[in-house]
Amino acid sequence: MSRVYNFSAGPSMLPESVLRRAGREIMEYGGSGQSVMEMSHRSKEFEEIFQSAKSLLREVMGIPDNYRILFLQGGASSQFAAVPMNLMTKSGKADYVLSGQFSTKAYQEGCKFGDCKAVASSKEDNFSRIPLLREEEFRPDADYFHICLNNTIYGTVWQELPDTGDVPLAADISSCILSRPLDVSKFGLLYAGAQKNVAPAGLTIVILREDLIGEPQETTPTMLRYDVMAENDSMYNTPPCWSIYLCKLVLEWLRDEIGGLQAMEQRNMKKAGILYDFLDSSKLFRGCARKEDRSLMNVTFVTGDPELDAKFVKESTEAGFVNLKGHRSVGGMRASIYNAMPKEGVEKLVEFMKEFEKRVM
Ligand SMILES: *Cc1c(COP(=O)(O)O)cnc(C)c1O
């Protein structure tokens, strides 16, 4: 067996110790005589897995008691609709910052359900930076203010949160959840698809301040209602059991092997630093995102020559560094270096880039 270094933006690498453990338990979980994949979601065994995944998430992220954790399905993309349907219920207004493709999709979806305003955008710079904010554009009576915290496609991250006053801040944290400590109390709502930093695809995590759970818009499908999901502890219907089980294992890894989110952040800063330092000194490659806004998770870069980019992607793949092709809207390359990417993977990639640079320059 030889495992590649997978730089995919998602689904992405999982920690090897987690995969080994899931492998050991695949035929029989505990003394249950069955796999977690086969288990009733109402069984005692699964109930334990479910509750410990939830309490581990609360512990690792430091989620305050007045926030509910929902384990849903449908991906972050379903939340683009669920957030407005559940929260746009008072003034019927919401403000959005357009910092990339996902935040733009969230905004466009939101427009179906009420009066959404794009209060800032960096589209004219092809989203290579976090937009400049003008607070006079913010609407004080908005039901929420939406941002995408880490822009997966463009490789930018909010270093500082916008000051939205009493307007609840809602954030898509799909590509940065668990990558570093986050002060949950600054947000009204957080959501993330699990497949980047938490678990295999299938699980969508919503962290929601309790007072925001209310009567949703009338036409909201039952499956998208936060009140119904909260009342039923996310078990209104069958939850994504296998993904929740892997989420629990990943959180145990994060807490017990890594040492929590502060230690994770240190690791992630080291890994990203290795790559960014090289990009800043390279004569061939350069980073795409504005320096101040650089993401720790997604590193976008180009040579400036699309043919050379294609050659690099092809040769890196052959060398065991896979999924480095950038998103079509940026071109070039993107190295997604989520939590489970070992430092060694980034070091070896940089070695390969150095060697490539020597060869083609
Ligand atoms: C991947 C991603 C999405 C889409 O997630 P799905 O779970 O596939 O719907 C949305 N937002 C961000 C920031 C992402 O990285």
Model confidence pLDDT, tens digit, residues 188-209: 999 999 999 999 999 999 999 9
Which pLDDT band, with edges at 50, 70 and 90, does 231 fall under? very high
Task: List beta partners, residue 333.
Answer: 301, 325
Nearest CA to ligand 1 atom 12: 174
Nearest Cα to Cα of residue 198 among 71, 23, 330: 71
Nearest CA to ligand 1 atom 7: 75
Nearest CA to ligand 1 atom 8: 75
HEC readout, 132-154: CCCHHHCCCCCCEEEEECEECCC
Which pLDDT band, with edges at 50, 70 and 90, does 73 fall under? very high
Compute the radius of gyration of the chain from its Cα atoms: 21
**CA of 217 relative to ligand 1 center, distance in Å:** 24
- Examine the pLDDT at 2 and tell me if it is beyond 90: no
pLDDT tens readout for residues 289-328: 999 999 999 999 999 999 999 999 999 999 999 999 999 9
Say if residues 257 and 216 touch (Cβ distance below 8 Å): no
Does ligand 1 have an atom closer than 6 angstroms to the CB of 100? no
Does ligand 1 have an atom closer than 6 angstroms to the CB of 200? no
- Examine the pLDDT at 42 and tell me if it is beyond 90: yes
Does ligand 1 have an atom closer than 6 angstroms to the CB of 148? yes
Which pLDDT band, with edges at 50, 70 and 90, does 159 fall under? very high
Nearest CA to ligand 1 atom 13: 174
Does ligand 1 have an atom closer than 6 angstroms to the CB of 202? no
Residue 1 has what pLDDT? 79
The pLDDT mean for the chain works out to: 98
Pocket test of ligand 1: the residue of 8, 77, 178 to mutate, having most ligand atoms within 8 Å of its CB, is: 77
Helix (H) and strand (E) counts in the chain: 9, 14
169/167 Cα distance (integer angstroms) = 6
Does ligand 1 have an atom closer than 6 angstroms to the CB of 75? yes
Q: Is the pTM of this model over 0.75?
A: yes
